[in-house]
Structure 1
Amino acid sequence: MKKAPAPSMITKAEKLHPYQLLVYLGMIGSSIVFVFLAVAFLLTFIQDNTLKTHHLPWPFWLSTALLLSGNIWVRRLNYYLKIDASLLLKKALWSIFLVGIVFVGFQVWGWIELDRQDLLFTGIPSGSYLYVLTGIHIVHLLGAVIFVLMMIYEVHQVVVNPIKELVFRNNPYVGMRIKLFVLYWYFVEIVWLVLLLLFALAF
């Protein structure tokens, strides 16, 4: 008896929810952009060792520790949703929101420190790539922050309205969106860790 042919990639994609397809395609597209820019940055700092005469601003290291600390709350989102702990879910989302905002603040601080070292956006190519890579990463993180804000509003409505809580609890798409957010957060986190490694090698 012949086995049924394995479903094609197109068939699998058709079975995905639009949210899932959007997030997966977005991460694939973003990965290509980051790889292209990272390789370009790698080639520029290999060709000239100008960055070796400078140091990687310490706010970038602080922002890394902060981003990793966000995992404390990110990992709990699915659990809080599962046990219907709306208040705890709301607090975790607020914590993640604050982590995201402060992370962006540290990144801007890092840019200020780069400027103090005369590493300008319009200066040497490798310095320009520092701003471009960190800037694009900030845009991706802000996307996550905006989603968190939307979820905070949604969960707040659930907390103040018991009827909405029942609908929220039984809505399968809520769990899917939380899982997609967790996946996206880890994606943004991994991208930053790779970028930080490249920056550390360059300085």
Structure 2
Amino acid sequence: MKKEKEGLNLRKEAFRKMEQMHPHEVLVYISMIGSAVIFFFTILAFTVSKPVEVDFFKFEFPKSFIVSTVVLLVSNYSVTKIMPHYLSDDIEGLKKWMGITFLLGLIFACFQIIGWKELQAHNILFTGERSGAYLYVISGLHVIHMAGVMGFLLYLLLESHKVSKDVVKHLLYSTSPYQKVKFKILSNCWHFVDAVWVAIFFYFLFSF
């Protein structure tokens, strides 16, 4: 009986927290769950489609994927610097860290493309074995998610640059609850795509 009450209280607390969230936050979290499910089933399909022969995986793991993972982990640190600068009303520092994070995202995307070329060099083609196609699909899906988050980051960066030129807008910008929500969404989305790639990376690493 006691455990049932504790479980009921936990559910009530969870619903209360959800009610306090901005609707956009709720939509983002639901989207994250949906994306996680898509990645899970795509990786599952990749696992099932592996050929019986292990020759398919007898080549060196793409070094570019390793470099891109390191870059993404560094960006995971840089994105944590964005919210503190917003809360302290340091718009120049805010722009700096958003710019750094965006640049790291671009570098990550470039190394992903190089990684695909490395796969092609080993005759693992998108139109070849199903397992090879899944490698491109899974990493490509992640790049698409990354591009979406980077687009949002670029929007916030341009917005903050515009606001920094206007004193009145600057005052409203730093005290806007919705603006805080947008930076919170950015941070959570960035951490999500980072976590997804790290999971994909280690799965790929032990598959080769």
TM-score after normalising by structure 2? 0.89
SS in 2 for 1:122: coil
Q: Equivalent residue for 1:149?
A: 154
Q: Equivalent residue for 1:62?
A: 67
SS in 1 for 2:107: helix
Q: 1-side partners of 2:49 and 2:144: how far apart? A: 23
Unaligned ranges ≥5, structure 2: none
Give a deviation string over 1:49-105, Cα, whole Å, max 9, x none.
233222221000000000011123211111101111000100111111111111111
Letter in 2 for 1:148: L
Q: Equivalent residue for 1:30?
A: 35
Query: How far 1:9 moved relative to its partner?
Result: 7.2
Q: Describe how 1:184-195 pairs up with structure 2 within 5 A.
A: 184-195=189-200
Confirm whether residue 117 of structure 1 aligns to residue 122 of structure 2: yes
Query: How far 1:158 moved relative to its partner?
Result: 1.7
Confirm whether residue 98 of structure 1 aligns to residue 95 of structure 2: no
Query: How far 1:176 moved relative to its partner?
Result: 1.4
TM-score after normalising by structure 1? 0.91
Confirm whether residue 44 of structure 1 aligns to residue 49 of structure 2: yes
Deviates more, 1:177-186 or 1:160-169: 177-186
Distance 1:11 1:69, change over 3 A: closer
Check conservation: 2:62, 2:115, Cα contact below 8 A.
Answer: yes
Q: 1-side partners of 2:47 and 2:66: how far apart? A: 20
Aligned length: 201
Q: Equivalent residue for 2:58?
A: 53
Q: Equivalent residue for 1:170?
A: 175
Check conservation: 1:51, 1:202, Cα contact below 8 A.
Answer: no
Check conservation: 2:98, 2:153, Cα contact below 8 A.
Answer: yes
Percent identity for Structure 1 against Structure 2: 34
Q: Equivalent residue for 2:81?
A: 76
Q: CA RMSD, aligned part only?
A: 2.0
Deviates more, 1:59-68 or 1:172-181: 172-181
Check conservation: 1:45, 1:202, Cα contact below 8 A.
Answer: no
Give a deviation string over 1:98-135, Cα, whole Å, max 9, x none.
11111111101111111111000011111111000000
Runs of 4+ in 1 over 3 A off after TM superposition: 3-16
